[in-house]
Chains A and B, each alone.
Chain A
Amino acid sequence: MSPIISIKNLTKTYENGFKALDDLSLEIEEGEILALLGPNGAGKTTLISAVCGLLSVPKNKIIVGGFDVAKDYRNSRSLIGLVPQEITIEPFETVKNAVSFTRGLFGKPADTVFIEQLLKDLSLYDKRDHKNMMLSGGMKRRVMIAKALSHKPKVLFLDEPTAGVDVDLRKDMWDVVARLRMSGVTVILTTHYIEEAEEIADRIGVINKGKLLLVEGKNELMQRMGSKNLTIELRKPVSKIPASLSNYKLELSNDGMRLNYLYDVRAQKTGIIDLLLELKKASFKIRDLQTSQSSLEEIFVNLVKD
């Protein structure tokens, strides 16, 4: 199956000479949720802007749904909904009119029933006749999502959708994204929150300095790049790690009751059995064992620091 978005060797240099995207290639499959991670200035928003038509891009670089965004902008843009990072909304217009306006812009006839259902889905129906400026920040962000969904796009870009919103609203947003996935909408979101990517994404892309460092399935990424930590709880405290265990990367907790052993899941031998045997030889009494996977955040930090 051909990807719904295909970006080939895209480079974007601004007039001031700043290279925001550097020979970036990316393919996004229909129906997936892709999270783009990257520090500030990495190129995430530039990438979204290029796909959505907010930047001038050369021909044959970005294809959306089989249409070149430069040559066939009408068909390509019809497939896309965009929720930008900043809350940008006409303050004096009502919620319902603002959403209907966007639907019209995308060439769709007025559909009161659909718009009202959309507002209900996003808990905006009670506010439909309120002016946008009367809404809270979270509600405004919902209005922007409603606007982006008003023409039933196949691809939705969410540029840091939960930046600056409270925990409840963030969870609501995740629910919205989950429902969109169920309806077959492809979602591309940028985020600073690693937990967000861990929670809802199918694949993770990491961008830094305009380059795509990797794109991989979330689980595979965590599996491939993750290291694990074995925590060994002791029955009696120890004051120091014996010299016989110096070959292992061990850390002793301050209270002397736990040993932490960091091992690489990719290695053929993790060394866990040998370690346990050595501990037995050294007369350590073990109460319990726990393993934990390194988080996406640790993986991300490791990637972008290089």
Chain B
Amino acid sequence: MNLFAIIAIYKFEMARTFRTLLQSIVSPVISTALYFVVFGSAIGSRMEQIENIEYGSFIVPGLIMLTVLMQSVSNASFAIYFPKFLGTIYEVLSAPVSYIEIIVGFVGAAATKSFIIGIIILMTATLFVDVQIKYPLIMLCFLAMTCISFSLFGFILGIWAKDFEQLNLVPMLILTPLVFLGGSFYSIEMLPPVWQQITLFNPVVYLISGLRWSFFGTADVSIHYSLFAIGLFTIICITIIAWIFQSGYRLRD
């Protein structure tokens, strides 16, 4: 194993975060703080409790998931797309590194960034609402699994994208609607029965529900389904990436 290569990629990517601290960390924290002000305080004060949980507290897992999913995808996709765009990807492709080492370096850094942001948002939330975490260890594990799996997804996007428009296409047109309709701000039980059934086809429902379960011990779907969903998604992403490197898709002619 080329451990030095993994460390080099990881450090290089983390250095990018610290170079762009405002964009990487401060910006999502401010956005989330605004969500808490608007949904938590302004609107939340007029909302009823959901499953005996104050609305402001109820949306905390959803808001963490909202930011973490978007950040994981954008961090990882940008991390691999930018060297492609600049042409510096030649270095990685001509180095004695396996695709697993490349993934661990790039995806590890992207997942670390989004995990840190997730924790910062959680800490920010405590400034606005009362946050109790019933299963903190499971919450951290679930958050980490989400960061890793969606960073893998972002990595695939970054390789697939031929330009910046394509890079933003999937997060904007697919991921954002899925996250907003995945129960970030509401329980799916609040929907009409037909829409409850349709919502179950949205994979993000299982992620938000899983994280919410770790906070409150109750959720829209069973934690087992949530764990299965995140595990399946991770395996699918790894399989696609393995194929990409073996075939050279959009990396090697």
Contacts and interface: CB of A to CB of B under 8 A. Distances in A.
A88 B87 contact: yes
A78 B96 contact: yes
Contacts of A77: 94-96
A92 B19 contact: yes
Interface stretch (A102-110, A164-172, A204-212): A102-110
Contacts of B252: 53-56
B94 A88 contact: no
Interface string B75-99: 0000000010011101111111110
Interface stretch (B9-17, B52-60, B191-199, B205-213): B9-17
A35 interface: no
A103 B98 CA distance: 16
Nearest to B2: A107
Interface string B1-40: 0111101110110011001000000000000000000000
Counting contact residues on chain A (CB < 8 A from B), the size range is: 35 or more
Instruction: State the majority secondary structure of interface residues on B.
Output: helix
A108 B3 CA distance: 9
Contacts of B92: 105
A52 interface: yes
Contacts of A52: 90, 94
B4 A56 contact: no
A93 B15 contact: yes
Given A54-B252, A92-B19, A101 B96 contact: no
A239 B35 CA distance: 96
A104 B98 CA distance: 14
Nearest to B253: A55
A74 interface: yes
Interface string B223-246: 000000000000000000000000
Most-contacted residue by chain B among A53, A80, A106 (CB, 10 A): A106
Contacts of B11: 101, 104
Nearest to A82: B94
A54 B253 CA distance: 8
A89 interface: yes
A103 B5 CA distance: 8
Given A86-B87, A88-B87, A105-B91, A74 B96 contact: yes
A105 B90 contact: no
A84 interface: yes
B26 to A, nearest CB: 18
A101 B109 CA distance: 15
Interface in A61-84: 73-78, 80, 82, 84
Q: Top 6 nearest A-B pairs by Cβ distance?
A: A104-B8, A88-B87, A105-B95, A74-B96, A77-B96, A52-B94
8 contacts: A56-B252, A84-B87, A90-B86, A90-B88, A104-B9, A105-B9, A105-B92, A106-B5
Given A76-B96, A105-B91, A105-B92, 5 more contacts: A49-B253, A53-B93, A75-B96, A102-B8, A103-B8
